[in-house]
Amino acid sequence: MPTSGRVWTLVVCDTGARFHANVHRDHRASVRSNLRAMTALRRILVTFLVLNGLFAGIAWLHRGGEGAAWVALDAMAVVGVLALAPRRRWAVLVGAAAGVAVAFLLLLALGDRLTRLSLARPLDPYIDWRLLRPLFELGVGQTGVSVTALAGFGVVAAALLLAAAAAFLLACLPGTARDRRTRTAAVAMLAAVPVGTLAQPQMAPRIDAPAWHLATEQSQRAWRTHRDVATFKTHLAESREGATPLPGLAGVDVVVGFIESYGESALTDPRYTQIVRPALDRAAAAIESAGLHAASGLVRAPTRGGQSWLSHGTFLSGQWLDSHARYDQFLASEASTLIDDFEASGHESTAVMPAIARPWTAADALGYDRVLDATNIDYAGPRLNWVTMPDQFTWQVVDRTRRAADRPVFIETALISSHAPWLPILPVLDWDRIGDGSVFERWADAGDRASALWRDPARARRDFAHSLAYALQVAGEYGARRVDRETLLILLGDHQPAPVITGPGASDRVPVHVISGDPSLVDAFVERGFARGMRPPTTGPAPRMEVLRTWLQGAFGRERGG
């Protein structure tokens, strides 16, 4: 072959080789580009699915099953914005911060669910962070959280793991949308947000922005509470008054017993009336056979399901203390209370609080002369589940306190045998056998564990009714034994039990019973709408509990018979 031909052949072969090499290189680059695009698209899709699932869980926790969301528009917005952001340090930090915010919102939703189940109200972040431990203990003890609301602590752990996964995915998202296809997908997500917003009225709650709604709702609630606290503080400063003596109760022992979880539902709900009403009737018969007089009514409690101290504070202060923030403001104000009113009338004030086993700072602010609690009450019996000592022994402590006093007494006590989990149910013993409480030792290990109780909600409700029947019978027998013409006994519920017992939508009303051997002391309440006897009227409006201090001042702010 001529030299020129060989050269031409070599040129052609080299050109072909180069062409094939370029084609192969372009193909590999195209494949790599497609793989990167597919990986980026998968990352965007996986991140959206995880975040959408978490936000759907937030909607379920916040609103219940009927409010569950299928498509979370706020998840679309977060993923779309982060995917379009450049891969810069600030963008990665923003993604990680968004993941932390998701975890925080999930915890808010869990807290809101727990608060609704245990206290029949939504979470208030302005004040409830200080109640994390009490709410946790209350939720476990009173609503069976592991059974009803969260299906065990494993759900919480799984939710937090998912939130951690979301934080990692969101931190990796910036810089994902680098080519036309991924940018198109991210832009499409952002474009779907206004479209979904327009369609939301017809598709709600299936298309929603649950995390956004939870965040704005909680922020607004916190702001309202902040303003309410400021307004209430001003109100306390402007309405500060000194003690109001109660000469109409001079020489009269006044005993106030708050019966745990004693609400209107116990007297009106068919699940409980067959157990509770006969016990109340037995108490009424004992009181009547002792020649005593009684009247009953309903008042609205400032709390439901828990936080009994709000009811105690409302009764004592004559102020509506429906939040822990208001309660704290009242204690800090040094405003007068019924304790001051009675002390101005010559009474010695004592708090008998068997449930308190830790330092009680509020006692100093309230100003009792004496506080008897689980740490200094001489009780030789066993702790009975949550109950440190049964009501029958508590009444014995009240009686001993009265006998030991050298002047009239004002005693406020908490009766906790009807506190959840209502185990064990005790019989009413011969009062002469109570002694130092060691007689209750036989019930130290009686009954099942609380966890077993919550696996059977019907049994939990039945045991609630029986424990309340015990509390009412014991209170009635104490009244029949120890109330006379120089005694005014006031029995009232602190709040309704949790929604797992009452069902949703229960009222906030609680019964009040006043008992005395002096009919004039009872007539003062009949004049204010109470019905004679131990059955409160269940129709008509009920005033708020704060009115009781005003009633006592109005009825007994003058000499008896004056």
Tokens of 172: 């990796």
Q: pLDDT-based confidence at 222, cuts 50/70/90?
A: confident
Distance CA 144, CA 453 (A): 9
Instruction: Tell me the three state secondary structure of residue 207.
Output: strand
Give start and end residues of each alpha helix (H) in 64-88. Answer: 73-84
Of residues 67 and 39, the one with the higher pLDDT is 39
Distance CA 142, CA 513 (A): 26
Backbone angles phi, psi at 349, to 5 degrees: -105, 135
Structure tokens at 186: 């991210």
Question: 181: closest CA among 48, 36, 37?
Answer: 37
Assigned architecture for domain 249-556: 3-Layer(aba) Sandwich (3.40)
Q: What is the dihedral of CA 143, 147, 148, 150, to 10 degrees?
A: 100
Where exactly are the structural domains of the chain? Answer: 3-223, 249-556
DSSP symbol at 282: H
Q: Cite the DSSP H helix spans in 290-333.
A: 308-317, 324-333
Query: Band of the pLDDT at 152, cuts 50, 70, 90?
Result: very low
Residues in the chain: 562
Q: Report how far residue 145's alpha carbon sits from residue 149's, in angstroms, rounded to the nearest whole number.
A: 5
Q: What is the pLDDT of residue 133?
A: 60
The two three-digit tokens of residue 348, written as one number: 């010695």
The whole-chain average pLDDT of the chain stands at 83
The 3-state secondary structure of 182-229, one letter per residue: HHHHHHHHHHHHHHHHHHHHHHCCCEECHHHHHHHHHHHHHHHHHHHH
Written as six digits, the tokens of 318 are 């004559």
- Which range (21-35, 300-314, 395-409) has the least confidence? 21-35
Compare 542 and 197 and report the one with higher pLDDT: 542
- Summarised one tens digit per residue, pLDDT across range 472-508 is 999 999 999 999 999 999 999 999 998 888 888 889 9
State both tokens at 362. 């509020």
Q: What percentage of the chain carries pLDDT values higher than 90?
A: 41
Pairing of strands 71-72, 348-353: unpaired
pTM of the full structure: 0.82
For residues 544 and 297, what is the distance between their CA atoms, to the nearest angstrom?
Answer: 12
Alpha carbon distance 279, 241 (integer Å): 41
C-beta separation of 511 from 264 below 8 A: yes
| Alpha carbon distance 118, 135 (integer Å) | 8
Q: Which residues pair with 350 in a beta bridge?
A: 370, 411
pLDDT for 342: 95
At residue 450 the predicted structure's pLDDT band, cuts being 50, 70 and 90, is low
Average the pLDDT over 109-138 and give the result.
Answer: 72
Mean pLDDT to the nearest integer, 29-58:
74
Tokens of 385: 């589940």
Cβ count near 233 (within 10 Å): 16
Of 24-33, 392-401, 417-426, where does the model show the most confidence? 392-401
For tokens 């602190």, the residue is 494
Rounded to an integer, the average pLDDT of 316-344 is: 91
pLDDT of residue 281 exceeding 70:
yes
Cα distance between residue 295 and residue 301, in whole Å:
19
Of the ranges 11-15, 149-153, 245-249, 442-446, which one carries the lowest mean pLDDT score? Answer: 149-153
Are 140 and 498 in contact, with CB atoms under 8 Å apart? Answer: no
